[in-house]
Amino acid sequence: MTDELDPPVRDLADIPAVEVISRAAVMLMSSAAEKLGLAEETPNSGAGVDLDEARRVITALAGLVTASVEYLGPHAGPIREGLQALQRAFREASSVPDAPGTGPGEKYTGPVF
């Protein structure tokens, strides 16, 4: 017997690719924001900041966005803007910022200033 409060479970095969890609991008963005300390009550307070982990997640996000931009349609712009905001936040959080073009994901997106 199922609980009427439980939302119906969707079969992954029934979910459009753009939705799967968008959800993955949002998960990566959320993870990067957490690792940059942007989700804290006082952002950039240093608590919970892990730049090494943030670099990895941002680079994965950049690869996903670059590889799938042609399929994202109207979702591409906001996702790219979110990625660039995370790349800039990473640069600001770094005590020694990477040279332009060498920051997280910039080998896929190009330099972010």
Secondary structure class of 51 (helix, strand, coil): helix
Question: Are 104 and 51 within 8 A, CB to CB?
Answer: no
Question: Are 90 and 58 within 8 A, CB to CB?
Answer: yes
Q: What is the pLDDT of residues 69-96, one digit of tens each?
A: 999 999 999 999 999 999 999 999 999 9
Q: For residue 5, what pLDDT band results from cuts at 50, 70 and 90?
A: confident
Q: What is the pLDDT of residues 41-67, one digit of tens each?
A: 765 566 679 999 999 999 999 999 999
Cβ neighbour number for residue 49 with a 10 Å cutoff: 17
Q: Check whether 6 has a pLDDT greater than 80.
A: no
What CA–CA distance (Å, rounded) separates 15 from 10? 7
